[in-house]
Chain A
Amino acid sequence: MEVIKAEDLTVEYYGSHFFLKGVNLSIKEGEIVLLTGPSASGKTMLLYCLSGIIPHCINVKTYEGSVHINGSEVRKTKFADITKVCGYVLQNPTSQIFGMSVEEDMVFGLENFGIERDEIQKRLDETLRFINLEKYREANPLLLSGGEKQRVVIGSMLVTRPRIIFLDEPTSNLDPRGTKEVLSLLEKLKETKKTIILVERKIEHIVPFVDRVIALDNGKIVSDSEPRKFFADQDLVKKLGVNPPQVIRLAYKLIEQGINIRDLPMSVQELYSMLLEQRGCLNAKNH
């Protein structure tokens, strides 16, 4: 079932050179999509358009074409209705936290939707368990670590039970521990079959987690395929200035050396198995 559709989307910001040109795409329920590309390629802009942040929260000079979420055109739908189905996590946790305690922050969205107190209580308990922050229930979120803060933001987003989740570089400001915490939370989210669309730079860990990579360059989509196929196009990857995970770069080198690699490995485990297989074949040949 299609949840998001963009048709001929052409958008331009005021006073800068950022733009999108003629973007067409379709995202199905449960897909996990990574938007990537060099700086100023329009990936964040696209995320904002697909999620309704453009045009509702950010004014733009030009907006042509359309974006539909669950069949309703974004421009013609009230943003409050869009936020009922969509959840958002942006880069800087501090500007997304409104409560003096974790629970205060998490109930903010539910209160705004007029949800009944009992229901709020139920969802609060459930989500605190999910994000594994039960012991910080009454803690001041601004005093928590970066990873914990971002988990609070994710929790506050999850309580409203969105079906589509948009993440804008959720780990860009985090240290290694925080990045791991957030990524494992995303892994858990994958199991809930929600549709997830994210922009992320630290692609090394993200790559095994996504179904689809959409690459932008200069406002246009230049690639839209599953990760293995995307990385297989070495020239494109280089042109976009994307730094693939080490195992993929290693695979490139091995291919150069003449080793037969059918599909690019997405993780250390995969490359390990591939190499053993290769060695096995070689040994078999030599005997």
Chain B
Amino acid sequence: MKLVEYVKRDSMIHRLDPRVKIASGVVVSLLALTFNHPLIMMLLFFSVVLLSFMAKIQKEFLSRMSPMVPVAVSAFILWTLFFRFSESRTVQGVLFHYGFITIDRISILYAIAMSFRVLTILGVPLLFFATTTFYALTLALVRLRIPYIAAFIVALSLRFIDYGLEEMNVIKDAQVSRGLKLKTRTMIERPQNIIALLKPLMERFMRFQEYLAISMDLRAFGALPTRTFYFELRMRKQDYAILIVLVAIFLAGFLLRLEGLGTIY
């Protein structure tokens, strides 16, 4: 299962300047954090999904989002049960009350909003990485005045995520073949089982990272203070247009929030 791997397609979104994509991601995340009305949250999330369709990567995007669904569902359950809006205000539509657990209309709506917020915030980077190569990301960071070495390391570290996931599969197969039971009835696994999965992962990880570091030196990484970039970034009309739209959306959102709209309480 690849989480951050670039998916090569020919789409408008792929062709956008990575700096614009970074800015879009930031704006969408900020909007997700600013508002808390469930309808707005759902709108934001579905916009992200719509963008994945526009980028022609909807299948990959949805499959990469699927492990996030349990996270969102847990968020929903926790907030529904424990969000105590009605504590110091008039009890409005309390549906259920027992000890620490309070379920009222507001908390359900809030919980829905929170789960979609989680999905949106997790979905934005997934969409970004699927449509932007690490090279483009590195170059974008450099153009945004981040030193090359730092930018490169950021991009390289992201590669480890997918490497780790792949290695995990191999290790799981190997250990399961030695009788390791992964699905047990009891919630508490023997600690040794977890070590059997994590320790080889650490080992492979360390080995891979060592080799990678040597390989970087072998290709003269960091040899000179300035390096050339064979590929270049160029802002085109579409990029500027999107930037303007982004600024407009951001300002609109900001003002709406000030007016107290878009919130559930």
Direct touching of A and B (C-beta under 8 Å) = yes
Nearest-neighbour CB distance to chain A for B126, whole angstroms, equals: 17
Task: Please give the distance in Å from B54's CB to the nearest CB on chain A.
Answer: 21
- Of the listed stretches B40-48, B225-233, B234-242, chain A binds B225-233
Of B14-22, B62-70, B212-220, the one with at least 4 CB within 8 A of chain A: B212-220
Map CB proximity to A onto B170-182 as digits: 1 under 8 Å, 0 otherwise: 0000000000000
Establish whether residues B135 and A99, one from each chain, have CB atoms under 8 Å apart when the complex forms. Answer: yes
Residue of B nearest to A97 (CB): B215
Contacts of A117 in B (CB 8 A): 228, 230
Q: How far is the CB of A137 from chain B (nearest CB, A)?
A: 13
Within 8 Å of chain A (Cβ to Cβ): is B224? yes
A95-B208, A104-B133, A104-B135 are known contacts. Are A113 and B218 too (CB-CB below 8 A)? no
A114-B226 in contact given A57-B214, A95-B208, A95-B211 (Cβ < 8 Å) = yes
In the bound assembly, the distance between CA atoms of A156 and B218 in angstroms comes to 11
Q: Known contacts A84-B220, A99-B135, A104-B133; is A111 also within 8 Å of B215 by CB?
A: no
Docked Cα-Cα span, A107 to B211, in Å, equals: 20
Q: How far is the CA of A98 from the CA of B159 in the complex (A)?
A: 10
Contact with B along A70-99 (1 / 0, CB 8 A): 000000000110011000101010111011
CA distance A116 to B134 in the complex (A): 22
- Give bound CA distance, A57 to B133, whole Å: 28
CB of B8 within 8 A of CB of A112, answer no
Q: Which of A94, A98, A114, A117 has the most CB of B within 10 A?
A: A98
The binding surface of chain A is classed by DSSP as helix
Min CB distance A29 to B, Å, is: 21
Cβ contacts under 8 Å, B156 to chain A: 98
Q: Establish whether residues A92 and B228, one from each chain, have CB atoms under 8 Å apart when the complex forms.
A: no
Rounded to whole Å, the gap between the CB of B195 and the closest CB of chain A is 22
Instruction: Select which of A53, A95, A120, A160 is within 8 A of B212 by beta carbon.
Output: A95
Chain B residues closer than 8 Å to A56, beta-carbon distance = 217
A113 surroundings in chain B (CB, below 8 A): 220, 223-224, 227
Residue in A closest to B155 when the chains form the complex, CB atoms: A98
Complex: A46 Cα to B220 Cα, angstroms: 21
| A124–B8 alpha-carbon span in the complex (Å) | 22
* Complex CA distance for A120 and B220, rounded to whole angstroms: 15
Per-residue CB contact flags for chain A residues 102-130 toward chain B (1 = under 8 Å, else 0) read 00100111111111110011001000000
B53 part of interface (Cβ distance < 8 Å): no
A58 / chain B contacts, CB cutoff of 8 Å: 214
Q: Which residues of chain B are near A80, meaning CB under 8 Å?
A: 220, 223-224
Report Cα–Cα, A112/B214, bound state, in Å. Answer: 15
- B127-143 vs A, CB cutoff 8 Å, 1 = contact: the mask equals 00000011100000000
B218 touches A57 (CB 8 A): yes
A110–B220 Cα gap in the complex (Å)?
9
A140 within 8 A of B: yes
Bitwise interface map of B from 1 to 36 toward A, beta carbon under 8 Å scored 1, else 0: 000001010000000000000000000000000000
Contacts of A115 in B (CB 8 A): 228
A203 to B223, CA, bound (A): 36
Partner of A111, one of B213, B216, B229: B229
Tell me if A111 and B228 are in contact (CB < 8 A). Answer: yes
Interface residues of B in 174-226 (CB under 8 A from A): 208, 211-224, 226
Judging by beta carbons under 8 Å apart, are A112 and B222 in contact?
yes
Q: Which residues of B contact A104 (CB under 8 A)?
A: 133, 135, 231
Given known pairs A79-B217, A100-B135, A108-B219, the reply for A116 and B228 (CB within 8 Å) is: yes
Partner among B8, B133, B211, B227 whose Cβ is within 8 Å of the Cβ of A92: B211
Contacts of B227 in A (CB 8 A): 111-114
Task: Decide: B218 and A112 in contact? CB cutoff 8 A.
Answer: no
Instruction: Output the least CB separation between B135 and chain A (Å).
Output: 5
A48's nearest neighbour on chain B, judged by CB, is B214
Please state if A112 and B230 are interface contacts (CB–CB under 8 Å).
Answer: no
Question: With the chains together, A247 CA to B231 CA distance in Å?
Answer: 50
In the A-B complex, the 7 residue pairs with the closest CB atoms: A80-B223, A95-B211, A109-B219, A112-B220, A107-B230, A88-B218, A100-B133
7 A-B pairs (CB sep. < 8 Å)? A53-B218, A57-B213, A57-B214, A99-B135, A109-B219, A113-B223, A113-B227
Residues of B within 8 A of A (CB): 6, 8, 133-135, 156, 208, 211-224, 226-231
Residues of A whose CB lies within 8 Å of any CB of B are 53, 56-58, 79-80, 83-84, 88, 90, 92, 94-96, 98-101, 104, 107-117, 120-121, 124, 140, 156, 160
